[in-house]
A and B are shown apart, each in its own frame.
Chain A
Amino acid sequence: MRVFVPCDSAAISVGADEVADAIAQLDPSIEIIRNGSRGALWLETLVEVDTPTGRIAYGPVNPENVQSLFDADFLNGGSHPLFLGKTHEIEWLASQDRVTFARVGIVDPLSLDDYRAHGGLIGLRKAIKLSSDALINEVTESGLRGRGGAGFPAGIKWRTVAQSYGSQKYICCNADEGDSGTFADRMLIEGDPFTLIEGMTIAGIAVGATQGIVYLRSEYPYAIATLQKAIDIARQSDWLGSRVLGTTNSFDISIRVGAGSYVCGEETAMLESIEGKRGVVRAKPPLPAVEGLFGQPTVINNVLTLSTVPMILAEGAATYKARGVGRSLGTQVFQLAGNIARGGIVEKAFGITLNELVNTYGGGTLSGRPLRAIQIGGPLGAYFSTAHMDTSMDYESLIAAGGMLGHGGVVLFDESVDLAIQAKFAMEFCAIESCGKCTPCRIGSTRGAETIDLIIQGVRVDENKKLLLDLCEVMTDGSLCAMGGLTPLPVKSAMLNFPSDFNGVRR
């Protein structure tokens, strides 16, 4: 008898380890498989039982429920207040279009056999038969754009690296997922790390890089441990090393752990950090694709970008790009977070509306109080009001609406939120995390927080609002990277969409 209990750190945070222990204690003959999370995080700990007709789910289970699950004969799908039916028929999951997250929650993250049985390595096997040119064409043709936030076409970046000369090219995976409200990189690494390794191997073969580095943040200790184990397993098989799947291609991966710095998610600061230095942003050009890590041509892609590549090769570019709208092709792994009733991972084709994400999937606020604000795209993303619920969730529509998609995080706030306080926090966060290179970011952020404080206190409100907008313009135009350049986005969108919070009178 097999029972699945997630090892995802979100599940562990609400007692998954204790649930697994309790099940093992009550029946030591049960084989407990620690899978990734299905992504319906409000149902964690989601316990699944393998039955002849498919996996049957119970959730949210806490350690105190376990005895009653046995009493209800859950091993044979018995009825219980936490019974959810067949996992793949749960509407919240069944209605999604899982591509990048196809295996997360289904497989044992560290079983290569499981990985192969669920379509793993099909992409890489196709890739090793293609020429570099054909391989990069396939990725370009799919329309895949950078999922870290910038949205740059992945194939074009790869082409630049392939055409650049270097004695040691690198594939750098940016897993410094610092945006509040985002956790897809973490869940993929904890739930299906081989997919990332496969994507990086394909990228290496495509551009002629033999060394891959994953820059993984220290705040993700569970992901670090899982990825290291997965790399070791891939090395022990015929995958990573000097003869990738028996070919003459060589590729290996190492992990570099971050040290608690948000700005190191910016690609050039990340390179500095991997080189062991202060995470200070570099001026561009030269582009990292030409002169990146240790001065060598470097592909820098986000976890989700690289992890989508195996699926694109397996299914074909045409199948992938048949999804989505306009220039936003394929699927986006949205992350629903904050004050939300049903938070978690929703992977859908671009073009789903904000309302569908927030209400149909998210179920509104956790507190049950009216929804007031939604921040999309992390700490540097805009605050939207409920007037924006029909916005199409894709790169271009969000820019047109005055925001950005970023890494796909959607954070809900109920009516108790004060947007002037949130705007002040945006400036404070920038002051704490600025690398210090550009004056508008380093000093402007502190002056910005002080100015918003004066507005909150009702001191010369109109004058200070004008000053704040002027400061925002200087930060936007005068900063090298998105840290200083986009901190004005949450500030200005809060002022625009919630003017009543900026009139000097507290709500």
Chain B
Amino acid sequence: MKYSPWSEDAARVLLATLSDEKGPVLMALQLMQKEFGYVDKACVELIANYFNKSRADVHGVLTFYHDLQTTPPTQHQISICVAEACQAVGARELSSAMKAKFADEVKDAYCFGNCALGPAAMVDGKIIGRATLAKIEKART
């Protein structure tokens, strides 16, 4: 996935698109992550000032949601579902094997709604059913 390098000026331009939204803080953080691949630490104060919130409000939202990350993304992003329906078809073992092979590119996730064709994974935004190490590796290239 392609992301822009972090830039406070670019961030301000993006935040302006949310001026008319009610309750914009979560949307603002999501927008930052979508553009830059992560939420830079400067975003907390920037968003707080922009929307007249406290830094604690923004920090609280940033740290509540699993999707939001504060460090730049890895080159590939792989998620493996480790919830019950995928556990029933070997997701625990696959998750371990994937972490051994692709290290910190791999994150556990809870459900992509592909529960009849598990194990389910998401590789750089593409969904994989009946996932195996080989399929993940192929989708990653």
Q: Contact residues of A with B, CB < 8 Å?
A: 9-10, 12-14, 41-42, 44, 177-183, 185-187, 218-222, 256-262, 273-279, 294, 335-340, 343-344, 366-367, 375, 379, 409, 411-414, 417, 422, 425, 429, 433, 435
Chain B nearest CB from A39 CB (Å) reads 9
> In the bound complex, do residue A379 and residue B24 qualify as a contact, i.e. CB atoms below 8 Å apart?
no
CB contact under 8 A between A178 and B84, given known A10-B116, A222-B127: no
Chain A residues with Cβ under 8 A from B116's Cβ? 10, 41-42, 183, 335-337, 340, 343-344
> In the bound complex, do residue B83 and residue A379 qualify as a contact, i.e. CB atoms below 8 Å apart?
yes
In the complex, which of the residues A180, A183, A273, A433 has the most CB atoms of chain B within 10 Å of its own CB atom?
Answer: A180
CB contact under 8 A between A9 and B127, given known A259-B26, A411-B85, A425-B84: yes
Chain A nearest CB from B10 CB (Å) reads 21
- Interface check B133, CB cutoff 8 A: no
Q: Name the interface size band of chain B.
A: 35 or more
Residue among A44, A218, A257, A261 making CB contact with B64, cutoff 8 Å: A261
Residue among A41, A44, A260, A274 making CB contact with B23, cutoff 8 Å: A274
> In the bound complex, do residue A425 and residue B87 qualify as a contact, i.e. CB atoms below 8 Å apart?
yes
- Interface check B68, CB cutoff 8 A: yes
Chain A residues with Cβ under 8 A from B84's Cβ? 180-181, 338, 375, 379, 411, 422, 425
Residue among B61, B86, B127, B128 making CB contact with A180, cutoff 8 Å: B86
3 closest pairs, A vs B, by CB?
A343-B116, A13-B129, A180-B83
> In the bound complex, do residue B65 and residue A260 qualify as a contact, i.e. CB atoms below 8 Å apart?
yes
In the complex, which of the residues A182, A219, A222 has the most CB atoms of chain B within 10 Å of its own CB atom?
Answer: A219
Bound: A492/B109 CA distance, A: 25
CB contact under 8 A between A294 and B22, given known A219-B112, A338-B115, A411-B115: yes
Bound: A10/B112 CA distance, A: 9
Chain B residues with Cβ under 8 A from A261's Cβ? 64-66
Residue among A257, A260, A339, A433 making CB contact with B88, cutoff 8 Å: A339
Name the residue on A nearest B22 (C-beta).
A294
Chain A residues with Cβ under 8 A from B98's Cβ? none
CB contact under 8 A between A276 and B89, given known A13-B120, A14-B117, A221-B125: no
- Interface check B72, CB cutoff 8 A: no
Q: Which of B27-57 contact A (CB under 8 A)?
A: 27-30, 57
CB contact under 8 A between A278 and B60, given known A183-B115, A337-B118: yes
CB contact under 8 A between A259 and B110, given known A337-B118, A379-B83: no
Chain A residues with Cβ under 8 A from B28's Cβ? 276
Chain A residues with Cβ under 8 A from B26's Cβ? 259, 273, 276-277
- Interface check B130, CB cutoff 8 A: yes
Chain A nearest CB from B121 CB (Å) reads 9
Bound: A337/B67 CA distance, A: 25
> In the bound complex, do residue B86 and residue A14 qualify as a contact, i.e. CB atoms below 8 Å apart?
no
Residue interface bits B91-113, CB-to-A below 8 A is 1, else 0: 00000000000000000011111
Chain B nearest CB from A363 CB (Å) reads 12
> In the bound complex, do residue A279 and residue B113 qualify as a contact, i.e. CB atoms below 8 Å apart?
no
> In the bound complex, do residue B65 and residue A259 qualify as a contact, i.e. CB atoms below 8 Å apart?
yes
Bound: A179/B86 CA distance, A: 12
> In the bound complex, do residue B65 and residue A338 qualify as a contact, i.e. CB atoms below 8 Å apart?
no
What are 29 A-B pairs with beta-carbon distances under 8 A? A10-B113, A10-B116, A12-B126, A41-B117, A42-B117, A178-B111, A180-B84, A180-B85, A180-B111, A181-B115, A183-B113, A187-B113, A219-B111, A219-B112, A258-B67, A259-B30, A261-B65, A276-B25, A277-B57, A294-B23, A336-B116, A338-B84, A338-B89, A343-B116, A344-B116, A367-B89, A379-B84, A412-B88, A422-B84
CB contact under 8 A between A277 and B22, given known A13-B128, A219-B113: no
Bound: A406/B12 CA distance, A: 43
In the complex, which of the residues A9, A336, A433 has the most CB atoms of chain B within 10 Å of its own CB atom?
Answer: A9
Q: Which of B64-86 contact A (CB under 8 A)?
A: 64-68, 81, 83-86
Chain A residues with Cβ under 8 A from B87's Cβ? 422, 425
Chain A residues with Cβ under 8 A from B83's Cβ? 180-181, 379, 429
Chain A nearest CB from B5 CB (Å) reads 23
Residue among A12, A335, A433 making CB contact with B115, cutoff 8 Å: A335
Chain B nearest CB from A378 CB (Å) reads 8
Chain B nearest CB from A137 CB (Å) reads 32
> In the bound complex, do residue A14 and residue B22 qualify as a contact, i.e. CB atoms below 8 Å apart?
no
Bound: A178/B60 CA distance, A: 22
CB contact under 8 A between A9 and B88, given known A14-B130, A222-B127, A259-B66: no
Bound: A429/B28 CA distance, A: 28
> In the bound complex, do residue A339 and residue B89 qualify as a contact, i.e. CB atoms below 8 Å apart?
yes
> In the bound complex, do residue B130 and residue A343 qualify as a contact, i.e. CB atoms below 8 Å apart?
no
Residue among A222, A260, A335 making CB contact with B67, cutoff 8 Å: A260
Name the residue on A nearest B34 (C-beta).
A257
> In the bound complex, do residue A337 and residue B127 qualify as a contact, i.e. CB atoms below 8 Å apart?
no
Bound: A294/B28 CA distance, A: 18
Bound: A267/B88 CA distance, A: 29
> In the bound complex, do residue B117 and residue A276 qualify as a contact, i.e. CB atoms below 8 Å apart?
no
> In the bound complex, do residue B115 and residue A262 qualify as a contact, i.e. CB atoms below 8 Å apart?
no
Bound: A340/B117 CA distance, A: 9
Bound: A42/B116 CA distance, A: 7
> In the bound complex, do residue B115 and residue A409 qualify as a contact, i.e. CB atoms below 8 Å apart?
yes
Name the residue on A nearest B120 (C-beta).
A13
Chain A residues with Cβ under 8 A from B109's Cβ? 219, 260
In the complex, which of the residues B81, B113, B114, B118 has the most CB atoms of chain A within 10 Å of its own CB atom?
Answer: B113
Chain A residues with Cβ under 8 A from B22's Cβ? 275, 294
